[in-house]
Chain A
């Protein structure tokens, strides 16, 4: 029998426990491969249910300053796709939680069918390609479908109901609701319409909904937990890397402390 995708399993489990998933995001290779692996392990130990790993790109046009700088640091380490997949293999050997691979399309496109093969081999469960909307996703999906990998799609505050239906018809695993119209980055205040938009999504589909972009505190996580299936946090975590760049143990300590704070709210 075909094995189900791990993303489905975790959401089924969490729903049965009435819990919300914590999905942290970090870039592979920031500040260096070994430290980023330690950070990922720390996040898992602190209760991450799924982990989202960014493949550093030269032109991250959907990202704010914090993730841009994170990619710049990682790019200095010349992270290749092979390095990224080795990273994921090592992480999965530590604990086999679902991995979402976050990338811009070009590094994946140039690999053709090989990306899906190598990603499956490394244990990738979902791929979020930020500049690959459903309209252009056929070729990519042909490759990843064979390997039981899901493409994770996004919905945003600018998405109307008709387009929501269209995007949801492609969605698998969970759908990522982008809480603000803008780039990634921690924000103190989030718009009020998140809840109503998530409810609109839930009115159309039973697929789990994760909320991300701008989330930076336990309080925000607690509010989102009331209606969403997952809370996704990236920039806020990466800020701990940036502000403690010369002290690895402090990076790990701060990230552990922050993540415990989040998971205790979920």
Chain B
């Protein structure tokens, strides 16, 4: 069966749980996207920007020293080498083209770590669209460099002071803005979540990752690994491979201080189904259905939900969801720096850390890890974390 269905459902998940004011806007987007999705001129234009602006295809790098350590064949999909330093731009280039073609003059976006915000501000500069980014006050403080980047790129940053002042609160505020300005404004969601058709659109634009890998390999891999917050880099790598039953896929959630502590961002490993931000999916929540705060050292994974298609494949056990802790991610971060000369984003370090966790299963196998972003933005976080650790020693 082709997913999502007509109403945007992935089995029990997905759908459109939004206020009535926004319904016409998502229906308009759905119809517009349906018309342009397979349009040759649109695809040609998108591919032009992906090649000449983003710098695609991104390399598939054989990580020899890492492979030696784990006695396996490990390849890294180098999304960290994209313009703006992460996979996020694959999606924003595509959605910016949609916004332009729909005649929208203003774009809004939410951001956590600032990667999607920077990717949005970047394409808005490129296509001359007014851009406003909503970001939690706490995230603004811990991601100063990305805030400065967005401002340089001409975006207006709105500090969100409600709730925990992180990504989920930024998304609430973006939705409030959208409801008031829905006629003129395009809402650029950064992950495979939100009301239909966003999970479909973002999946389409991120699938370029997996499609390229298929062209870059000589034989099918045995195992795919990606980190997962909302799930756009994971879906981007996995989706073109889902038809190959022999391939095992692992989505690595942010285990924070450990699932049992409650301080984590592992919506599937440690949450249950619910409804938030336009879709039905696994969520971190309390017994009364109120949404819990997520925790992760990786700001890009620090969200209490996950894309609905992931929830579907989690139940089907087609994608295996597991988690690694902050500590494991930071170790992997350091290890990759020294063994391959690559500084990964803390988000992507979760995927690298998983190699250690399943080292028995990967022995003798071909493994592809999505290196979704680079770690420049995380220097302060990691250095603070390590100096704190040293004090305890």
User: Which residues of A148-172 are within 8 A (CB) of B?
Assistant: 153-160, 163, 167
Known contacts: A59-B163, A111-B289, A135-B16. The answer to whether A156 contacts B276 by CB under 8 A is no
Q: Tally B residues with Cβ within 8 Å of A.
A: 38
Partner of A106, one of B24, B163, B172, B283: B283
Compute how far the CA of A183 lies from the CA of B175 in the bound complex, rounded to whole angstroms.
9
Q: A124 within 8 Å of B by Cβ? A: no
Q: A94 within 8 Å of B by Cβ? A: no
Partner of A57, one of B179, B277, B290: B290
Chain A residues in 8 Å Cβ range of B180:
181-183
> When the two chains form their complex, are residues B23 and A64 in contact, meaning their CB atoms are under 8 A apart?
no
Smallest CB separation, A178 vs chain B (Å): 6
> When the two chains form their complex, are residues B291 and A58 in contact, meaning their CB atoms are under 8 A apart?
yes
Smallest CB separation, B132 vs chain A (Å): 16
> When the two chains form their complex, are residues A107 and B23 in contact, meaning their CB atoms are under 8 A apart?
no
- The A/B interface has a contact count, at CB < 8 Å, of 109
Q: B245 within 8 Å of A by Cβ? A: no
Measured CB to CB, the nearest residue on chain B to A157 is: B21
Q: A204 within 8 Å of B by Cβ? A: no
Smallest CB separation, A205 vs chain B (Å): 16
Cβ proximity bits A47-62 to B, threshold 8 Å, 1 near / 0 not? 0000000000111111
Chain A residues in 8 Å Cβ range of B288:
80-81, 107, 110
Compute how far the CA of A158 lies from the CA of B25 in the bound complex, rounded to whole angstroms.
8
The B contact surface, by secondary structure, is mixed
Measured CB to CB, the nearest residue on chain A to B12 is: A139
Q: Tally A residues with Cβ within 8 Å of B.
A: 39
Q: B168 within 8 Å of A by Cβ? A: yes
Partner of B275, one of A64, A105, A157: A105
Compute how far the CA of A30 lies from the CA of B27 in the bound complex, rounded to whole angstroms.
36
Chain A residues in 8 Å Cβ range of B163:
58-59
Chain A residues in 8 Å Cβ range of B17:
105, 131-133, 136
Closest 3 CB pairs of A and B: A107-B289, A182-B180, A110-B289
Other contacts beyond A131-B18, A131-B275, A153-B20: 8, CB < 8 A = A59-B169, A106-B283, A107-B288, A109-B280, A131-B278, A133-B18, A133-B23, A178-B20
